Amino acid sequence: MELNEWVFVGAFLAIAWTFPLAPILANYFLAPSRPSRIKRDTYECGVETVGDTWVQFKVQYYLYALIFLVFDVEMVLLFPWAVAYNELGMFAFLAGGVFILLLLEGLVYAWRKGALEWS
Amino acid sequence: MTFIEEILREQLGLSADLAALLIVFGGVLVVATGGLLTPIITIWLERKVAARFQDRIGPNRVGPLGLLQTIADVLKLLSKEQITPRDADKVVFFLAPILMVVSVVTMFAVIPFSPLAIGADLSIGILYAIAVSSLGTIAILMGGWGSNNKYALLGAFRVIAQLLSYEVPMILALLVPVLLAGTMSMQGITEAQANIWFVFFVPVAAVVFFISSTAEVGRQPFDLLEAESEIVAGYNIEYSGMQFAMFYLGEWLHAVVICLLTAILFLGGWQGPLVNADNVIGPILGMVYLIAKTTLLYFVHMWIRFTVPRLRIDHLMAFNWKFLVPLSVFNMLIVAFIWKLFPAPEEPGFVAELPRALGVLVGNIALVAVTLSLLQGYATRERQKVEGLVDETLYDPRAPRVAASATD
Amino acid sequence: MGDVVFAIAFWVFTLLTLGGGLAVVTVRNLFHAALFLLVSLFGVAGLFVLLVAPFLAAIQVLVYMGAIGILIIFAIMLTRGMMRLEHPFNSQAVAGGAVALLVFVGLVLVVTPLADEIGLAEVNIPAEIIEEDDPADVDYETVSEMGRVIADRNGFVLPFELASILLTAAMIGAIVVAREDEA
């Protein structure tokens, strides 16, 4: 019967975007619109924009995202384990414990290598 | 629900399908509107509380006690021009604030307000809430990119690094109530706390969840994305009028939602005396309890917000990866281990569940004690390092500068 | 009504999946392509829900949209000058197309009963699997069953642990590659 519940979620998703859209549209019709060249400039603290917005970013951001991804996959795999945990024996604890300690090892490696430092 | 369906079908003569459809859409409208209107109250509340913390009066001109201040602000924003920069990626720029609000509002679909009042009791309820809220990250990235502004894009990158990082301890802490309740359904987790609320025996998970979800909202002391007093506004710098307000609304709604989630996962949700689904007043009373618990948590949230200074970004990351993540991993392991040591009670009841809860609580206390002593050792070493550095470099130029290079 | 809602949902999600996928390969702007990829992934999540696999749907959104999607965009940002590609096709377009076609045909043959129907291959699927279930009757509690299996000595505990080792290796590898100055 859970499909009925999902119908609600689907309806929610279908309707939800109208809530933020309505005030934005209302604003569009109510507010004055007097665009000028300077007003529509990119605002970078009043200084003329120099060069491309596409400045190359530090690899640091990418590294955080990668470590996060690994943890994310790991935690998602732990959810079924946690749900079934009450019905399982001590072996389940060992399985989950080894699983997560192995990953902690990765974190320790990242830590020792300085991949977690913000520079 | 069935009660309304009967009215629709028998009094108004609608077909069963149409009645069911109307109920679904009516439910969505009620839940979403109710959720969206909460910031009108919480913004006023927060400004008042902030004022008291800072020895001010706060809004007091518009309406009694300044209650209508938020409405005045909304009207003001409605009259403001929405400026789209010339170089912006217009479609992405337009969609970002909408997605931001959608990602938060849709979380309300699985919130159990009382034994009967829940939008959708999904079997993966809590995972649904986390998954939907992770879409907010994309909205921020779209806003930063769409503005075509270096500061906006940089701001977006910083925020996302923070949001992604703090999602790890948040989900790890969340695994604990799932493990204890044996289900991901929000209603199931609430029902599992009928006798003892989880916060009383897994306080570490509760605190870690609350801290990391505060960081997910991006509020003080984790508000590096905004930092009004230091940098330009961040990823939403180019937004104005209602589009800006939608980002703002998303943040405020998210703050309410995390308090709701903490109340449900750890404070027993709608559980409280005299609540059961059988009598008429039960469901209403449940809603009152949930709102009361949420308000209490929201006050704690504001309390932190107005007393703790902002973190520096490297400290922010270190606090997450080197403190919260290891802590939540060990916390989960300890809770899981002790939970298995005690046999499950034959039938539910406060006395039957007490020994196991006490065991887990002892484990939590031991974990806190070990953590505190480790932190104390760390602090002592850091202090000695700093003191040593000052002594050696200032007074003895030939002294080895080991201390200086060891600060990493 | 259930069937109608189901059909509408199916077509909406199919359209999102295929339309998003098509846009990914045709759109010139790399960032837009990444966003269309997310749309496509969302469609897949919806299809998972219709297939009575809500847990997979949640994973799809949480991991693929929330983490891998972001990672892809970060990767795009790291590469400079990828934004203005003059030609959407490179010298490997034909080979790539051929591989894609082969994989598609292979998938159709393996997962659908089409091969059996047109006589290409004989598929012996037990009748009880082919028999269609009403989605309303299917048990949604697949998650705890999965949990029981991955923590079972005779089940999938070894793949479960190997997954952890794989993830750890991925993390270490990423750090080594990203910080080549120290490797």
CATH number at residue C70: 1.20.120.1200
Asked whether residue C132 is domain-assigned, the answer is no
For range A38-50, the mean pLDDT: 67
Q: Is A2 on the interface with B (CB under 8 A)?
A: yes
Residues of B in contact with C35 (CB under 8 A): 92, 138, 142
Check whether residue C4 and residue C70 sit in a common domain.
yes
The total number of structural domains that make up chain C: 3
Q: Specify the range with the lowest mean pLDDT, choosing from A44-53, A77-86, B118-127, B391-400.
A: B391-400
Cβ-Cβ pairs closer than 8 A, A with C, add up to: 147
Q: What percent of chain A has pLDDT over 70?
A: 85
Nearest-by-CA chain C residue for A60: C178
Spell A43-66 as b/e; 16+ CB within 10 A means b: bbeeeeeeeebbeeeeebbbbbbb
Q: What was the pLDDT predicted at B373? A: 92
**For residue B365, what pLDDT is reported?**
92
DSSP string, C17-69: HHHHHHHHHH-S-HHHHHHHHHHHHHHHHHHHHHTT-HHHHHHIIIIIIIIIH
Nearest-by-Cβ selection for C165 from A4, A54, A102: A102
C153 vs A contacts (CB less than 8 Å) = 91
Q: Are C55 and C143 in contact (CB under 8 A)?
A: yes
* C145 shares a domain with C117: no
Interchain contact, B138 vs C69, CB within 8 Å: yes
Based on the fold, state whether residues C42 and C108 are members of the same structural domain: no
CB pair distance less than 8 Å for B138 and C140: no
C130 falls within a domain: no
Is B346 within 8 Å of B363 (Cβ atoms)?
Answer: no
Which of C85, C116, C133 marks a domain boundary? C85
Same domain, C36 and C103: no
Residue whose C-alpha is closest to residue B242's, from B18, B11, B5, B81: B81
Q: Return the residue in A1, A2, A3, A17 with the most chain C beta carbons within 10 A, the one to mutate for interface testing.
A: A3
Q: Are residues C37 and C105 in the same domain?
A: no
DSSP code of B9?
I
Q: Does residue C107 surpass a pLDDT of 50?
A: yes
3-state secondary structure of A116: coil
Mutate one of B37, B91, B102 to test the A interface: name it (highest A CB count within 10 A): B102
Helix spans in A1-119 (H): 2-16, 18-30, 59-84, 90-112
Residues C105, C76, single domain; the answer is no
C121-163 residue pLDDT tens: 665 555 555 556 565 566 666 788 888 888 888 888 888 889 8
Q: Is residue C25 part of a domain?
A: yes
C112: left (phi over 0), alpha (psi -120 to 50) or beta: beta
The answer to whether C35 contacts B92, with C-beta atoms less than 8 Å apart, is yes
Which residue from A54, A68, A109 is facing C67, i.e. has the nearest CB?
Answer: A68
List the 62-101 stretch of A: residues with Cβ below 8 A of B.
64-65, 67-68, 71-72, 75, 78-79, 82-87, 89-90, 92-93, 96-97, 100-101
Chain C residues whose CB is inside 8 A of the B17 CB are 1
Does the residue C145 lie in any domain? Answer: yes
Do C12 and C63 fall within a single domain? yes
A1 contacts in C (CB within 8 Å)?
Answer: 136
H/E element, B336: helix B325-341
Residue C129 lies in a domain: no
Give the closest of C5, C55, C172 to A109, CB-based: C172
Closest CA to B121 of A47, C7, A16, A3: A3
**pLDDT average, residue stretch C35-63:** 91
Q: Suggest the residue from B33, B71, B162, B178 to mutate for an interface test with chain A (most A CBs closer than 10 A).
A: B178
Tens-binned pLDDT, residue by residue, of chain B (408 aa): 556 666 666 666 667 777 777 888 888 888 888 888 888 888 888 889 989 888 888 888 888 888 888 888 888 888 888 888 888 888 999 999 999 999 999 998 888 888 777 778 888 889 999 999 888 999 998 998 888 887 888 888 888 888 898 999 999 999 999 999 988 889 889 988 888 899 998 999 999 999 999 888 877 777 776 665 555 567 888 888 888 889 888 888 999 999 999 999 999 888 888 776 566 777 788 888 999 999 999 999 999 988 888 888 888 888 898 899 999 999 999 999 998 888 877 777 788 888 888 888 999 999 999 999 999 998 888 888 887 765 555 555 555 555 444 444
Which chain C residue shows the shortest CA-CA distance from A77?
C160
Do C7 and C68 lie in one domain? The reply is: yes
Query: Within a domain: residue C153?
Result: yes
The whole-number average pLDDT for the span C75-101 is 74
Distances (CA, A) of C119 to C104, C110, C114, C123, C130: 18, 13, 8, 10, 18
Query: Is residue A109 less than 8 Å (CB to CB) from chain C?
Result: yes
Q: Give chain C's mean pLDDT.
A: 80
Please, which chains are in contact with A (at least 3 CB pairs closer than 8 A)? B, C
- Token pair, residue B326, equals 């290891």
Contact in structure between B225 and B8 (CB atoms under 8 Å): no
Give me the amino acid identity at C104. F
Query: Chain B, 348-407: which have a CB under 8 Å from a chain A CB?
Result: none
- Based on the fold, state whether residues C99 and C169 are members of the same structural domain: no
Does pLDDT of A36 surpass 90? no
Q: B85, A42: Cβ pair inside 8 Å?
A: yes
Taking the CA of residue C115 and the nearest CA in chain A, the distance in Å comes to 31
C114 CB contacts (<8 Å, ≥6 apart)? C108
**C120 falls in which pLDDT band (50, 70, 90)?**
low
Does residue B132 belong to the interface with chain C, where contact is any CB pair within 8 Å? Answer: yes
Q: Do the Cβ atoms of A62 and C140 come within 8 Å?
A: no
Does residue C2 sit in the same domain as residue C79? yes
Q: Do C147 and A82 touch (CB under 8 A)?
A: yes
| Dihedral sign computed on CA atoms, order B46, B49, B55, B57 | positive
Domains and CATH numbers, chain A: 2-112 (1.20.58.1610)
User: C104 or B218: which carries more pLDDT confidence?
Assistant: C104
Contact: A79, B184; criterion CB under 8 Å: yes
Domain that holds residue C113: 92-124
**pLDDT for C125:** 58
Cα Dmax for chain A: 70
Q: In this structure, are C80 and C103 located in the same domain?
A: no
CA distance C123 to chain A (A): 31
User: Which pLDDT band, with edges at 50, 70 and 90, does C183 fall under?
Assistant: very low
Nearest to C73 among B122, B131, B141 (CB): B141
- Cα distances from A63 to residues A74, C132, C172, C176, in angstroms, run 17, 45, 11, 10
Quick check: B134 and C66 CB within 8 A? Answer: yes
Q: Is residue C115 part of a domain?
A: yes
Look at residue B407 in the predicted model and tell me its pLDDT: 44
Residue numbers of A between 16 and 35 with CB closer than 8 Å to B: 16-17, 19-21, 23-24, 26-28, 30-35
Amino acid code (one letter) for C119: G
ipTM above 0.85, yes or no: yes
On whether residue C111 sits in a domain, the answer given is yes
Q: Residue C86 pLDDT more than 60?
A: no
Residues C7 and C77 in one domain: yes
DSSP state of A49: P
Q: How far apart are CA B153 and CA B143, in angstroms?
A: 8
A41, A78, A83 ranked by CB distance to B85: nearest: A41
